[in-house]
Structure formats: C-alpha cells, structure tokens
C-alpha cells in the first residue's frame, strides 16, 4: 500500500528541554492525518538535492485525536542536516511535506488483560506519549502502565508535567526516570522515582522475571534496544512475542 503525501504548515514551535523542540503541524481542513498511536511519518525536508537524503522519519507525539494538528518532538543531533533545519531555519508558517503514516509499533486492540511496560530514552518517548494519551482519551481498559524514561539530566525529562498529572489522575500508572549524568539527586525534587544510571536497572529490578500478561515496548537508540532485548530474553525470561521495539534516530 502506497503512503499518502500531505502538505502541512508549521503553526507552533516550543522548546521543551535543552536541544529538544516540539513542533505542531496544521493539516488541511479536509485532509487530516489518520494514524494509530505509535506510528511515524517521513518528512521531505529542504536539506539536500537528492530526495532520499532529505527524508527523515519521526513518530507522532500526540494522540490520534489530534489528527488536525499532529505534534512532533525532535532532538538536535550534532552535525545533523535535519537538526540544522529544525533548530536554525524552520519557522512558523513554513510548509512541511510528509508521507505516511507507517509502522507497526502500535498497541493491540485489547488491553484489558495487559500490563504495559514502556522503556525509552530521549525523544523515544514520543510514541509512548501518543499511546498513553490515546488510552486516556478513549478510556481504554488496561491493567497497568509503567513508563520508564532515561535521559542525562533532570532538565531533559520530557513532558514532565504531563506525567506528574497522570500520576495523580490515571489509575495504575507509574513513571520512573533514570538520569545518567546528574551529579546530585534529591528525592524531594521529584514526585516520581528517579535513579542514577540507566533505564535497564529500573525494569530489571521491578520485573526480575517476566510475568504472563506483561508486554514490553522499547524505543531508543540501537545499543539501548539491543541491551534491553537481551536482558528481557536471557535474564528475565520474557516471551519473545511480548517484546516490541522501535529504533529511534
């Protein structure tokens, strides 16, 4: 099935962490973006003469209910042509052409018997935000959701206020953070568990042995995904069919 091409307009840009920005794209009134939570689109950016060197893929960070104005969470990568565009050139009012949606990194239709464990680093949190907000918006039944997020410093905790609100308002939702380079952590500065180190220790401590009904979703750089899959399969005896991952970046 061929992807559909869209022409959208940047209507809002917001810094949300050091070297991370949120972008909102306005879709044509008669042509909204139809997608499933967790899917991505591929943008054709004005960064190169050759078509394939202009294409960059980004997960939609908002839920499908925001199909008229999808949101994307994009990080600056040192030396990246797309980063230079989004952080030095892109302005409100510019047109962005993209195709999609695509990707099978989505939730099953039935969640009522699922314990969802979401493991991510950096802007790999985007598809999970889409999924969680979709679950909340549609009031889908689930057993539990545990979002495990890793970044270097506390300033890089993306969508922090949203997760803090969900901890108060969403039943059986947990949010845990691993900070790999923060020199001093004070528990009183956070309303959720924060650890010094990496995401792997969090889920391995929380789930020494995988249990029936647990689904593990992983999104991040390849090294993190490789380590997580190995931990889940070898050390935690997780069912391979219950491990889902998406390479980010």
Q: Verify that 47 and 134 share a domain, yes or no.
A: no
Gap between the Cα atoms of 81 and 88, Å rounded: 10
C-beta of residue 5 within 8 angstroms of C-beta of residue 98: yes
Q: Is the pLDDT of residue 248 over 90?
A: no
Averaged pLDDT, 65-71: 97
Q: Verify that 93 and 30 share a domain, yes or no.
A: yes
Q: Facing residues of 20 across strands?
A: 17, 75
Nearest Cα to Cα of residue 106 among 154, 45, 59? 59
Residues 207-247 pLDDT 10s = 999 999 999 999 999 999 999 999 999 999 999 999 999 99
| Domain count across the chain | 2
Averaged pLDDT, 70-87: 96
> 237 in the Ramachandran plot: left (φ > 0), alpha (ψ -120 to 50) or beta?
left
CATH number of the structural domain spanning residue 13: 2.40.30.10
Instruction: Give the domain extent around 234.
Output: 115-247
Residues 114-129 pLDDT 10s = 999 999 999 999 999 9
Res 3: pLDDT: 77
CATH number of the structural domain spanning residue 192: 3.40.50.80
Averaged pLDDT, 126-133: 98
Nearest Cα to Cα of residue 14 among 87, 81, 78? 87
Q: Verify that 123 and 169 share a domain, yes or no.
A: yes
**What is the value of pTM for the model shown?**
0.96
The contacts of residue 79 (CB under 8 Å, 6+ apart) are none
| Token output for 225 | 């995904």
Q: Is the pLDDT of residue 249 over 60?
A: no
> 159 in the Ramachandran plot: left (φ > 0), alpha (ψ -120 to 50) or beta?
left
Res 187: pLDDT: 87
Residue 172 class from Cβ within 10 Å (0-12 exposed, 13-18 middle, 19+ buried)? exposed
| Token output for 247 | 């390479």
Q: Verify that 123 and 242 share a domain, yes or no.
A: yes
């Amino acid at each position: 099935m061929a992807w559909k091409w869209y022409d959208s307009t940047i209507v809002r840009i917001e810094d949300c962490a050091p070297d991370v920005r949120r972008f909102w794209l306005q879709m044509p009134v008669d042509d909204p973006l139809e997608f499933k939570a967790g899917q991505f689109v591929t943008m054709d950016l004005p960064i190169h003469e050759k078509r394939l060197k202009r294409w960059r893929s980004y997960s939609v960070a908002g839920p499908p209910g925001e199909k008229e104005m999808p949101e994307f969470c994009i990080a600056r990568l040192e030396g990246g042509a797309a980063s230079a565009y989004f952080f030095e050139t892109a302005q409100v009012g510019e047109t962005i052409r993209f195709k999609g949606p695509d990707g099978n990194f989505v939730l099953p239709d039935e969640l009522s018997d699922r314990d969802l464990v979401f493991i991510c680093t950096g802007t790999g949190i985007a598809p999970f935000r889409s999924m969680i907000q979709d679950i909340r918006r549609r009031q889908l039944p689930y057993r539990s959701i545990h979002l495990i997020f890793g970044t270097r410093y506390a300033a890089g905790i993306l969508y922090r206020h949203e997760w803090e609100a969900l901890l108060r308002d969403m039943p059986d939702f947990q949010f845990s953070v691993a900070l790999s380079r923060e020199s001093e952590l004070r528990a009183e500065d956070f309303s959720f568990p924060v650890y010094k180190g990496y995401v792997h220790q969090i889920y391995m401590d929380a789930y020494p042995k995988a249990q029936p009904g647990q689904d593990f979703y992983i999104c991040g750089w390849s090294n993190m995904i490789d380590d997580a899959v190995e931990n889940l399969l070898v050390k935690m005896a997780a069912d391979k069919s219950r491990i889902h991952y998406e390479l980010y970046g």
